[in-house]
Structure 1
Amino acid sequence: MRAAVLGSPVAHSLSPVLHNTAYAAMGLDDWSYGMHECGEHRLAAFVAGLGPEWAGLSLTMPLKRRTLELADTSTELARAVGGANTLVRRGGGWHADNTDVEGITEALTEAGIGTPREAVLLGAGATAASALAALVRMGTTAPVTVLARDTARAGAVTEAADRLGHRLRIGPLSALGEHLDTDLIVSSLPSGAADAHTGPLAASRADLFDVVYAPWPTVAAGAVADRGGRVVGGFPMLLHQAIAQVRMMTGSEDVPAGVVRAVRAAGEAELARRAPTPAR
């Protein structure tokens, strides 16, 4: 059987390492997982051309919204978030789901972060929408504050909040210093974008979940860790969302803990291999 990750750009993806390690650890010797560069305009044709040997696809940016649109069926969660990162065969068609929410929830839980009473999201795109859904799933009831670089582009997370039935407060990212009395700050910003805000992050009492996984730790994560806050990086999220995809694509009820450990070790080793060599 075959599976793959699609996106643009996609060459940096860790998904092939994670999925192929899982297949090997589960004894699925006839399974393989690859990667394909694919933009929005090519996605429908790519999916239509897949034969019966294809079990599923992982979708990264910019394909998540388009994936939801072209799927034959989809989960309520994927529709609520407004995007899908997973396609699996079901009933002769393609079924869309979102495992990013499970990835975020599992990453926070294993770090000992339970239900944040209050939370602040940095960024307002697709990942922020998944983070909001994860917070709702974990039981956060207070309005979530979303701080965006451009508040006019907060439509995706605002629409997700409406579908999830959760209240938001929207503000500019420059106002982070006014929102430090919170339990958890989630940065869905691109690599390096949160580093300019290390002053407020260091002054806050909040824990930090930074979706960046390379390079790690980020400057922002280091600032929070230095003052004793708990920090969760993007790799645990990536790990757990991949394990959920493996479960869905292979039809397994569960992925054994030993397989999860093997996948985690392989991913960490690959990140270490990719890390730049320190200058002497």
Structure 2
Amino acid sequence: MLNEGRDVARHCAVWGSPIGHSLSPVLHRAAYAALGLHDWSYDRREVDEAGFAAALAGLDATWVGLSLTMPLKEVAFRSATTVTTLAAVTGAANTLVRDPDGSQGWTAHNTDVHGITMALRVAGCTDPSSVLVVGSGATARAAIAAVSAPRGRVVFMVRDRVRPETLAQARQAGLAVEVVHLGEWATAADVDAVVSTVPPASVPGLGSFPEASEGSRRPVVLDVVYGSGETALQRAARDRGWAVAAGTDMLLHQATEQVRLMTGRPAPLAEMSHALRLALRDRREDP
């Protein structure tokens, strides 16, 4: 992206609502420091769906990248002038990067897919062919895109019904689809991974969470929420022999892709990971 003209300030930020908890500034600022991009800045801004269009239109040409969190991933996708394949497949963008032609347009990316893939891989789940996804929103669609097998399987755990666009994505990918109600954990017994994309307090029935299946590798639970310590789902999974992937690993790896896309440089993973560990430690110690 825009890595030339380093005497000109470049601005990036994370937008969402709520946004005060976001650790994205920690990661991106650590990357800029390691890369010597001292004229780059990265901040956070409270923006909701109603205010998104005006906020985006108000950015001048020094703004080169945005990270988007809830509830902006779909409205950001619709605002882009160019859409990458993964963003198109998922119908959601967690990243907007200024088009390189100097226009006022933006390209939509979905680096959540990379974040989920890497978080599962770090926990020992490589190339999952079957996944139980709690929820069916934008992040759930990123989890579906992380299923590698062309004839894989996805189980949706939802309160009511699966969102039509999410169901369509799974079927277009050739995945076998099952739907269960929240708290019905029997089908989790034979999947490679469980990915929860909903608030931890809304995940019921954990007393019936299954024991890890026997096999060459342990199944993995990924709760994408981070920042409040271990969730009830993570505790239940760990107690029953599952491997647990940290939501912060997803955060870290989706951010490395954002840094690469926004700056045009390979992301300094070690420095970003170190900064994240320090921030998490400080957050735990903060009374």
TM-score under structure 1 normalisation?
Answer: 0.89
Q: What secondary structure, in the 3-state scheme, does the structure 1 residue paired with 2:170 have? A: helix
The match for 1:82 is 91
The match for 2:208 is 200
Q: 1:143 aligns with which of 146, 153, 157?
A: 153
Q: What secondary structure, in the 3-state scheme, does the structure 2 residue paired with 1:236 have? A: helix
- Describe the superposition over 1:19-74 as per-residue Cα deviations: whole angstroms up to 9, x where unpaired: 01110011111111011111112211211121111111111111111111111111
Q: 1:186 aligns with which of 190, 195, 208?
A: 195
Q: CA deviation at 1:177?
A: 2.6
Structure 2, unaligned runs of 5 or more: 1-9, 214-218
The match for 1:133 is 145
Q: What secondary structure, in the 3-state scheme, does the structure 2 residue paired with 1:174 have? A: coil
Q: Give the aligned CA root-mean-square deviation in angstroms.
A: 1.9
The answer to whether the 8 A contact 2:150-2:173 is kept is: no
Distance 1:191 1:273, change over 3 A: farther
The answer to whether the 8 A contact 1:127-1:188 is kept is: yes
Q: What secondary structure, in the 3-state scheme, does the structure 2 residue paired with 1:131 have? A: helix
Paired with 2:165 and 2:108, the residues of 1 have a C-alpha distance of 18
Tell which deviates more after alignment, 98-107 or 37-46.
37-46
The match for 1:261 is 270
Distance 1:6 1:263, change over 3 A: same
The answer to whether the 8 A contact 1:116-1:140 is kept is: no
Distance 1:219 1:6, change over 3 A: same
Paired with 2:107 and 2:174, the residues of 1 have a C-alpha distance of 24
The match for 1:59 is 68
- Larger helix percent: 1
TM-score under structure 2 normalisation?
Answer: 0.87
Tell which deviates more after alignment, 32-41 or 166-175.
166-175
1:221 corresponds to 2:230: no
The match for 2:216 is none
Tell which deviates more after alignment, 173-182 or 259-268.
173-182
Percent identity of equivalent pairs: 42
Q: What secondary structure, in the 3-state scheme, does the structure 2 residue paired with 1:239 have? A: helix
Within 5 Å, give how 1:18-29 maps onto structure 2.
18-29=27-38
The match for 1:31 is 40
The answer to whether the 8 A contact 2:131-2:195 is kept is: yes
Structure 1, unaligned runs of 5 or more: none
Q: CA deviation at 1:184?
A: 1.5
The answer to whether the 8 A contact 2:155-2:178 is kept is: yes
Paired with 2:26 and 2:286, the residues of 1 have a C-alpha distance of 21
| Matched AA of 2:111 | T
- Describe the superposition over 1:196-224 as per-residue Cα deviations: whole angstroms up to 9, x where unpaired: 33323253433211112222222221222
The match for 2:118 is 106
Within 5 Å, give how 1:209-248 maps onto structure 2.
209-248=222-261
Q: 1:42 aligns with which of 48, 51, 72?
A: 51
Distance 1:158 1:261, change over 3 A: same
Paired with 2:70 and 2:174, the residues of 1 have a C-alpha distance of 25
- Describe the superposition over 1:240-280 as per-residue Cα deviations: whole angstroms up to 9, x where unpaired: 0011000000012x22xxx21121121122122222668xx
The answer to whether the 8 A contact 2:97-2:261 is kept is: yes
Q: 1:14 aligns with which of 12, 23, 34?
A: 23
Q: CA deviation at 1:5?
A: 0.6
The match for 2:3 is none
Q: Give aligned pairs, total.
A: 270
Q: CA deviation at 1:163?
A: 4.3
Q: CA deviation at 1:167?
A: 3.3
